C-alpha cells in the first residue's frame, strides 16, 4: 500500500514511470502512484492549448505513445499541420499529428468551457487510463522562455522566446542568457499536488531534465518546501550518464544555469534534504538557497566515482545501470530506487 509520488517531465519521466508501474505490479500490487507533471513547456499554438509533458506521460502510460519519437501518437498523419502551414500559420518546426491534435482540441474545448487544467487532464485520462493519478504541477499557465544572447532569424538579441522554440526549432544551439518563467511567481500548486508530496511514502525525481522539467516543478511556490517537509523519502535518478545528457540536450540547460553536466553536480544541485541546497527561489535560473530536496541519488555504474562526492554532500548514493533500454531494464532502475529508499 505504498504511496509513491513522481515529479516528471516528458519522455524521461514517462518512461521511468512505466518501468516503476511494472515493478510495482510484480512486487506491491496495492501501491498507488501520483505523477506531478511539468507544465512549463505548455503553450498556445494554432488556437490550441498544448501540454507536451502531460500528453507524453498520458500516452506512454496509456499505451498510445509513438515509441520512436517519444511524443505524439503512432501512425498519425501530418495532413492538418501541412494545411495550417499552407496558410503561413503555426510553427512549421513543431508538427502536430492529427490524432494528437484531437487531444489538444478536446483539452482546449474543456478549458474554454471553464474547466481547470487539472479537470481537463482528469477527463482526458478517463480515456487513457494511465494507471496513475496524473496532476499538472499548476492550474495556472506557467511558460518557460529563454532570453536570446544574439539576434537570430526574426528575433533580436535580448528577446524572450518560448522554450519549445529554442528546443525544437533551434535544437538549443543558439546561445541564451537565462530562463524566464512567465507566471511562475504567482502560480500555485494544482489541487492535490502538495498533499501528494506530503502524504507519500516515497517521492521520486525520475531521470527528467533537472532544469526545465523537475527544476520548474520545484520552483512552483510551495513545492520545494513540501519536499523539504514530507515524511517520505526523496530519491532521484540521474538523467546524466558519463558526463552527458542521455538522448537529450539537458546539458544546454545546465550550462545556462551554470551547473556542470555530471551526475554528481546535478545531485548536489538538487541538494541534500539534510543541509542547505544550491538553488531555490526565483525560478530555475535563480539562487535562493532555501535548502536541498534529496535523501538519495542514483548514478549510473559508469559514474561510480561520484558516489563518494555525493555522500560527502549528505546524499546517500549508489551506482547502478541507469539506461532505460526497455521496460524491464527500467523496472530494474525502479527496483534500485525502492531499495535505496529503504536505506535512508
- Residues within the interface to ligand GDP (CB under 6 A): 8-13, 53, 56, 207-209, 213, 237-239, 241, 245-248, 250, 322-324
Phi (first) and psi of residue 176, to 5 degrees? -130, 155
Using the minimum distance from each CB to Ca ion, give the nearer residue, 215 or 271.
215
Instruction: Verify binding: residue 9, Ca ion, rule CB under 5 A.
Output: yes
Shortest distance, position 213 Cβ to ligand GDP, whole Å: 3
> E strands, the chain, where?
3-8, 32-37, 43-45, 48-50, 133-136, 143-148, 160-162, 176-182, 202-205, 233-237, 240-241, 244-245, 296-299, 316-319
CB of 208 to ligand GDP, least distance (A): 3
Tell me which of 46, 53, 55, 295 binds Ca ion, using CB under 5 A.
Answer: 53
The answer to whether 10 contacts Ca ion (rule: CB under 5 A) is: yes
Residue 120 binds: one of ligand GDP, Ca ion, none (C-beta under 5 to 8 A by kind): none
Of 124, 113, 145, the C-alpha closest to 40 is: 145
Selection from 135, 188, 143 nearest residue 164 by Cα: 143
On the 0-12 / 13-18 / 19+ scale of CB atoms within 10 A, 93 is: exposed
Shortest approach of ligand GDP to residue 53 CB, angstroms?
5
CA distances from 205 to 59, 155, 163, 215, 292 (A): 20, 35, 21, 10, 13
**In the complex, minimum distance from the CB of residue 252 to ligand GDP, in angstroms, rounded to a whole number:** 10
Binding string, residues 167-186; x marks residues near Ca ion by CB under 5 A: --------------------
Residue that the C-alpha cell 532570453 belongs to = 147
Window of 8-16, 24-32, 70-78, 152-160 that interacts with Ca ion by CB under 5 A? 8-16
Part of the chain binding Ca ion (CB under 5 A), chosen from 47-55, 194-202, 233-241, 286-294 = 47-55
Least Cβ distance, residue 53 to Ca ion (angstroms): 4
Rounded Cα distance between 117 and 120, Å, is: 5
**Which of the listed partners (Ca ion, ligand GDP, none) does 34 bind, with a CB threshold of 5 to 8 Å by partner kind?**
none
CB 135 → ligand GDP: shortest distance, Å? 15
Pick from ligand GDP, Ca ion, none: which does 3 bind, CB < 5 to 8 A by kind?
A: none
* CB nearer ligand GDP, residue 118 or residue 302: 302
Distance CA 316, CA 230 (A): 17
Reported in sequence order, the residue ranges of 187-309 that DSSP labels E, i.e. its strands, are 202-205, 233-237, 240-241, 244-245, 296-299
| Residue whose CB is less far from ligand GDP, 244 or 275 | 244
Amino acid at each position: 500500500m505504498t504511496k509513491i509520488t513522481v515529479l516528471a517531465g516528458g519522455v524521461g519521466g514517462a518512461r521511468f514511470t512505466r518501468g516503476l508501474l511494472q515493478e510495482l505490479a510484480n512486487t506491491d500490487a496495492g501501491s498507488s502512484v501520483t505523477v506531478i507533471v511539468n507544465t512549463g513547456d505548455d503553450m498556445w499554438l494554432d488556437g490550441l492549448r498544448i501540454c507536451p509533458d502531460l500528453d507524453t506521460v498520458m500516452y506512454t502510460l496509456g499505451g498510445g505513445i509513438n515509441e520512436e519519437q517519444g511524443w505524439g501518437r503512432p501512425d498519425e498523419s501530418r495532413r492538418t499541420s501541412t494545411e495550417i502551414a499552407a496558410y503561413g500559420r503555426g510553427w512549421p518546426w513543431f508538427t502536430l499529428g492529427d490524432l494528437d491534435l484531437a487531444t489538444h482540441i478536446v483539452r482546449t474545448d474543456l478549458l474554454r468551457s471553464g474547466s481547470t487544467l487539472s479537470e481537463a487532464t482528469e477527463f482526458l485520462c478517463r480515456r487513457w487510463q494511465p494507471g496513475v493519478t496524473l496532476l499538472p504541477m499548476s492550474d495556472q499557465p506557467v511558460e518557460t522562455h529563454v532570453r536570446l544572447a544574439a539576434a537570430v532569424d526574426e528575433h533580436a538579441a535580448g528577446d524572450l522566446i518560448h522554450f519549445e522554440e529554442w528546443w525544437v526549432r533551434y535544437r538549443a544551439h543558439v546561445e541564451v542568457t537565462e530562463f524566464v518563467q512567465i507566471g511562475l511567481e504567482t502560480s500555485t500548486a494544482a489541487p492535490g499536488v502538495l498533499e501528494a508530496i506530503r502524504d507519500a511514502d516515497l517521492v521520486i525525481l525520475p531521470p527528467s531534465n533537472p532544469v526545465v522539467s523537475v527544476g520548474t516543478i520545484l520552483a512552483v511556490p510551495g513545492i520545494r518546501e513540501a519536499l523539504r517537509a514530507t515524511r517520505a523519502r526523496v530519491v532521484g535518478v540521474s538523467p546524466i550518464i558519463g558526463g552527458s545528457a542521455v538522448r537529450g540536450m539537458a546539458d544546454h540547460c545546465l550550462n545556462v544555469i551554470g551547473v556542470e553536466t555530471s551526475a554528481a553536480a546535478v545531485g548536489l544541485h538538487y541538494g541534500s534534504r539534510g543541509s542547505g541546497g544550491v538553488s531555490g527561489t526565483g525560478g530555475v535560473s535563480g539562487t535562493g538557497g532555501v535548502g536541498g530536496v534529496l535523501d538519495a541519488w542514483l548514478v549510473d555504474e559508469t559514474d561510480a566515482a561520484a558516489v563518494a562526492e555525493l555522500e560527502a554532500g549528505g546524499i546517500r548514493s549508489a551506482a547502478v545501470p541507469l539506461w532505460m533500454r526497455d521496460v524491464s531494464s527500467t523496472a530494474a532502475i525502479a527496483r534500485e530506487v525502492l531499495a535505496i529508499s529503504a536505506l535512508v
